[in-house]
Structure 1
Amino acid sequence: MASDEPKAKKPKLSEEEKPEPPPKENAVKISTNSLFGMGNPLLDICAVVDKDFLDKYSLKPNDQILAEAKHKELFEELVKKFKVEYYAGGATQNSIKIAQWMIQEPHKVGTFFGCIGKDKFGEILKQKAEEVHVDAHYYEQDEEPTGTCAACITADNRSLVANLAAANCYKKDKHLDLEENWKLVEKAKVYYIAEAAAFAKEQDFDTKDIKEIARKAQALPKDNKKRQRVVVITQGKDETVMAQSDKIETFPVVKTDPKYIVDTNGAGDAFVGGFLSELVQEKPLDQCVKAAHYAANVIIQRAGCSFPEKPDFK
């Protein structure tokens, strides 16, 4: 017999009391410090300048150079004379911050090690790394100033002047070998260190064919036999090549109308960051490449290695 008594209402749960939704199938819970990067940290200093400034320091409107003695005063003058914007830079640090941006939550998935100076640029760099939620642990020394990269913008051109300075002063025994730092290395699942070597030439591959280079690089001797090496080679606007086991795959890049391209300098770093953001979550490699292409496409439509608040990657 049905009761006429009203059913008791379930009490509303506070946000803290609500149960967490069940994890998606095959989802990997990502934790802080899962991704580790180590390289040359630079404070990117970006400003719109005039032709007189370029001429004073013998700079070309669209170029990338390492700072020489004649550029010693350039960085301070850039800050004093023009309105500047600062970014945490350097190839590896760029990739780590892009990966963190793609992941969003939790913060500090990416750990970064490098060397800076005990100076105002070093303090700004620490602040900028914190703003993009990278867990940066710098070795600080006072022999050399913090490495910087001046991005001198004129119209659609960017003249880049990099001064590695402190970035070259990293001391393994004074930083990497410290117990608290080594614990962060051991905590990571994925490691990334950028290299700029002409790899195929060094290895005497005797070919310029990108697919063949990828295949030969993948087949090089490997100490860890538990998993196959994966080789990914980018070619700018041309297809990306990936070698895995005996398989060669190619992936077309995201096409962008040239009128929307602002700055291609951070494209490679962004590709790596996008790739790592999925790899650290144990996503399939084709998904890693798709994320890499997405990130690179976003970055080339903005000045410097910068990005909007949130990604729109599905």
Structure 2
Amino acid sequence: MAHLLSTPAPTSMSPKVVNYAVLDISAEVGQDTFDKYGLIPGNAILAEDKHQPLFTELAAKKDVVYVAGGATQNSIRVAQWMIQEPGKTAYMGCIGDDEFGKKLIDACKKDGVDCKYMIDKTTPTGACAVTIMNKERSLTTNLHAANNYKASHLQANMDTLKNAKIVYSAGFFITVSPESIEIASQETLKTGAVYCLNLSAPFIVQVPPFRAVLEKTLPCCDYLFGNETEARAYAEAVGWDTEDVEFIATRLSLVPMAGSKPYRKVVITQGADPTIVAIRGQVTKYPVIALPKEKLVDTNGAGDAFVGGFLAALAKGKDIEACCKAGSYSASVVIQHSGCTYPAKPDYTI
């Protein structure tokens, strides 16, 4: 779970997160690998027994790259990078007491994120096999320790949550600690913080128990993120006979809010096509930065980076248009690098 901390200026906010923390093991592969493991470009799945050899195969490749990963950890790292002010972000997740865990701690500290990891001494740190083919990626994740996060850790760090002005979680975390999502989202009703959630993957909305948590959380959700594939998967799962992304975003924006929260903003990215934002049933489209194909290196993390840039601008009190512009910029930078990585400083002022 990521958190953006408050700043002295009353109109400025900063994000915080609780979510699963994994180490990305990233490498280019061929169609044979996709066929062997039943992988789909642009998809994200939890690893089964048949996928276990994939991690060893990737680690043996000469071009393998290790990056601090996990969807939410990516987003909060990018948000911190875009803000360029120390101490504005915090992150909670669970890691193992091993070398991969140490790499994650070092990476987060280097990026300026206040990482508050729960340490599981009996389980390895989670890992994600990032298989890249023709500049498209498929994610296969061994959650390991990341799957063992406990709400008790969040409760022990409630001061961090209570001080947050923006709280963000990827939908993936629904599979790990629904109790933590409920605690965090309900706390925002008390503190007035902004709560953000991401659909994250088709299986999150397709599996009934996971979708039930999502729908229970929606009334607390100020910003709901997703992409067009996830939006359509949700519509199919709940019986909306449509693939019209604008219509789906509109309906999601009209789900009643809890307490005195304002209308939800539904933000659906569509790759190179304009980003759809639905508020109170009204849709606005915002263009993204178009890049020539030769500049694309790796689309892994593009959606996470968009959210990171968006949250950074939101933390600065910017409007939806400025948030989408910042998200588009950060995504355009990340896809020109391998993994969710970026240069030392952004060439962008929020």
Q: Same fold (TM over 0.5)?
A: yes
- Helix, strand or coil at the partner of 1:308: coil
**1:68 deviation in Å?**
3.4
Match of 1:14 in 2: none
Taking the aligned partners of 2:247 and 2:137, their CA distance within structure 1 comes to 34
**1:156 deviation in Å?**
5.6
Contact 1:117 1:144 in 2 (8 A): yes
Taking the aligned partners of 2:238 and 2:30, their CA distance within structure 1 comes to 44
- State which structure, 1 or 2, has the greater radius of gyration over its C-alpha atoms: 1
- Shift of the 59–232 alpha-carbon distance from structure 1 to 2, 3 Å rule, reads same
Match of 1:208 in 2: 243
- Shift of the 70–312 alpha-carbon distance from structure 1 to 2, 3 Å rule, reads same
**1:119 deviation in Å?**
1.3
Contact 1:48 1:82 in 2 (8 A): no
- Counterpart AA for 1:87: V
- Counterpart AA for 1:182: M
> Unmatched 5+ residue regions in structure 2?
1-8, 172-200, 206-232
- Helix, strand or coil at the partner of 1:176: helix
Contact 2:37 2:50 in 1 (8 A): no
Match of 1:124 among 103, 111, 125: 103
Taking the aligned partners of 2:239 and 2:10, their CA distance within structure 1 comes to 40
- Helix, strand or coil at the partner of 1:193: strand
- Counterpart AA for 2:162: E
Q: How does 1:213-252 map to 2 (within 5 A)?
A: 213-252=248-287
Taking the aligned partners of 2:306 and 2:164, their CA distance within structure 1 comes to 20
Match of 2:17 in 1: 37
**1:256 deviation in Å?**
0.8
**1:28 deviation in Å?**
5.8
Match of 1:168 in 2: 147
> Unmatched 5+ residue regions in structure 1?
1-26
- Counterpart AA for 1:183: D
- Shift of the 83–245 alpha-carbon distance from structure 1 to 2, 3 Å rule, reads closer
Match of 1:10 in 2: none
Contact 1:116 1:138 in 2 (8 A): yes
Taking the aligned partners of 1:50 and 1:109, their CA distance within structure 2 comes to 40
Contact 2:11 2:317 in 1 (8 A): no
Q: Does 1:305 align with 2:305?
A: no
After TM superposition, the score normalised by the length of structure 1 is 0.78
Q: Does 1:295 align with 2:295?
A: no
**1:85 deviation in Å?**
3.6
- RMSD, matched Cα: 2.9
Match of 2:158 among 182, 200, 211: 182
Taking the aligned partners of 1:51 and 1:212, their CA distance within structure 2 comes to 35
Aligned residues: 280
Say which is worse superposed, 83-92 or 277-286, in terms of deviation: 83-92
Say which is worse superposed, 267-276 or 206-215, in terms of deviation: 206-215
Contact 1:151 1:159 in 2 (8 A): yes
- Shift of the 59–183 alpha-carbon distance from structure 1 to 2, 3 Å rule, reads same
Contact 1:28 1:281 in 2 (8 A): no
**1:60 deviation in Å?**
7.7
**1:143 deviation in Å?**
3.4
Match of 2:91 in 1: 112
Q: How does 1:1-314 map to 2 (within 5 A)?
A: 30=12, 34-47=14-27, 58=36, 66-72=46-52, 75=55, 79=59, 82=62, 84-105=64-85, 107-151=86-130, 160-173=139-152, 175-178=153-156, 181-195=157-171, 196=201, 197=205, 198-314=233-349
Contact 2:253 2:265 in 1 (8 A): yes
After TM superposition, the score normalised by the length of structure 2 is 0.71
**1:67 deviation in Å?**
3.2
Contact 1:99 1:277 in 2 (8 A): yes
**1:77 deviation in Å?**
6.8
Taking the aligned partners of 2:29 and 2:300, their CA distance within structure 1 comes to 18
- Counterpart AA for 2:102: E
- Shift of the 124–313 alpha-carbon distance from structure 1 to 2, 3 Å rule, reads same
**1:134 deviation in Å?**
1.1
**1:145 deviation in Å?**
1.1
Write out per-residue CA displacement over residues 25-61 of structure 1, whole angstroms, 9 at most, x where no aligned residue.
xx76757xx3111222111133568999x59x94589
